[in-house]
Amino acid sequence: MIDSVVIPLLKILIVLNAVLVAVTFMVLLERKVIAWTQVRLGPMRVGPHGILQPIADVLKLMIKEDITPVKADRWVFTMSPMLVLVPALIMFAVIPFGPTTSLFGREVTLYITDLNVGLLYIVSVTSIGVYGIILAGWSSNSKYPLLAGLRASAQLISYEVAVTMALVSMIVSAGTLSMVGIVNAQASQGVWYLFIQPVAFFIFFVGGLAETNRAPFDMPEAEQELTGGFHTEYSGMRVALFFLAEYANMIVLASVATTLFLGGWLRPFPNVEALAFLGIIPSWCWFLLKTFVFLYIFIWIRATLPRYRYDQLMRIGWKVLIPLAIANVVVSGILKVMF
Amino acid sequence: MAETITFYMLGGLILLFAVLVVSTRNTVHGIIFLVIDFLVVALLYASMNSMFVAAIQVLVYAGGIVVLYLFVVMLVNHKRPPEEYADPNRRNWLGAAMTAAVLGELVIIGAYASLRPAAVSASATKVGYVKETAMVLYTDYIIPFELVSILLLVAMVGAIILARREW
């Protein structure tokens, strides 16, 4: 009873709350890092160095008026923010934060579940996430959101192909689709897949930026041309849900990248005995540290690179990344058979 | 017992959403119901422990194909009710004959399945697992598999020819 119901529920509760708190502080981190890049201070007023800013923001968003446009398609309009958020959150079900650990005299796995098709689960749930964005754009019954919704769907479909192909070549190396299995494969081969599959990592990273609508691919929410993008007509808590989903997606992307290419919970260079002293740091700390590095890089990229034009974005997706990904699959397959 | 109840509940939901797809006036709502329908089908697969098939169902049908439907419908949708126009070619004897053939086929398949249940082979119990599915697909069923891919290729070439402006 305890093992089958209580512990999974507790794990879900902890992960969900941790993600939601992490998301609010991601927003603060992003504002701070961008401010530092631009030699500003960023939020400073609420709490020391603005540390309580997220709480103030959430409170403000919760007490704002919630407006539904008269001409909007009411139930689709209401449903869309949830449709964006739910896929982003349920992806955490298969992310392995650490191996089996004993906590309070009980063997506990530091992941919610280990599907034998875990990676495929993540890819499919990502592909469901686009509906919220498209339908938010369509149901607002307004020009800019509709354009943004179309852009979002085109962008997601294009980059999904490249990312999935990149993952296929990664699977060729790992020989399994289970997220835990992939980390264990890296442990037994003694190397992070970043070094075995650098091209797949590059494609996954670029495609992931595009799939989460991050700069320099933040076409669907280009403020200057679309007055905010698909959530233009939303207000109050519903906008907050969209932002929540966006940042939750970023965290998922960072954790998936960590699991697949940076060895998940493994310490750096798991095959070098001389670094064994690094093992005193708990495995889940390594996982969180690597994920944080990824998140920092996302923000760094946003602060540094200008936005692509739409046709450039499509050209990169179809003419560069997809052929590269297919070639990578072929080369990985040949190398796998030869060695 | 629990499996049977799950099966009939999911089956009922699939039928319900399928009917909603064709009965709603608003095409975008119809597509939303179609997505839900595909997701329930994926649930049905998952309830039979075929996680791989369920994931592919979500990825390909709910996530890939229907997004394209939505894309098209959003671009042509004018939020007008469909025009009251009875296509004279729609209700004819050929259509009736083909419908009867499909219904007859369904009845025969149903009767055949209930009269002679398929023997459970060793590989069929593991149909949800990637390696087993891939092994069967690339050895025993390689010719149907390749035929399907050729069919898709033909459809793709056809779509490109249709979409091309200059000849």
Q: DSSP readout, A29-80? A: HHHHHHHHHTT-----SSSGGGTTHHHHHHHHHHHS-----TTS-HHHHHHH
- Please choose, from the candidates A123, A91, A98, A42, the residue with its C-alpha nearest in 3D space to the C-alpha of residue A251: A91
C-alpha distances in Å from residue A276, one per residue of A6, A269, A270, B119: 35, 9, 8, 54
pTM for the full predicted model: 0.83
Domain presence at residue B136: no
CB A238 within 8 A of CB A62: no
Residue A143's pLDDT is 80
Q: What is the CATH number of the domain that holds B59?
A: 1.20.120.1200
Largest alpha-carbon pair distance within chain B? 61
Residue B87's pLDDT is 65
Answer whether residue A74 shows pLDDT above 70. yes
> Distance, in angstroms, between A127 CA and closest chain B CA?
5
Residue B126's pLDDT is 57
Q: Do A153 and B52 touch (CB under 8 A)?
A: no
CB contact, 8 Å: B29 with chain A? yes
Domain presence at residue B21: yes
Of the two residues B38 and A188, the one the predictor is more confident about is B38
pLDDT bin (cut points 50, 70, 90) of residue B142 is confident
Structural domain range at position B61: 1-81
Answer whether residue B93 shows pLDDT above 90. no
pLDDT bin (cut points 50, 70, 90) of residue B104 is very high
- Please choose, from the candidates A289, A177, A40, A310, the residue with its C-alpha nearest in 3D space to the C-alpha of residue A318: A310
Backbone angles phi and psi of A42, in degrees to 5? 80, -170
Nearest to B64 among A127, A146, A150 (CB): A127
Domain presence at residue B30: yes
Q: How far apart are the first and last CA of chain B?
A: 61
Give me chain A's average pLDDT, please.
83
- Burial tier of B76 (Cβ tally within 10 Å: 0-12, 13-18, 19+): exposed
Q: What is the pLDDT averaged over residues B48-59?
A: 84
pLDDT bin (cut points 50, 70, 90) of residue B90 is low
Confidence check on the interface: ipTM exceeds 0.85, yes or no: no
Q: Do A134 and B74 touch (CB under 8 A)?
A: yes
Residue B60's pLDDT is 85
Domain presence at residue B73: yes
Indicate the number of domains in chain B. 1
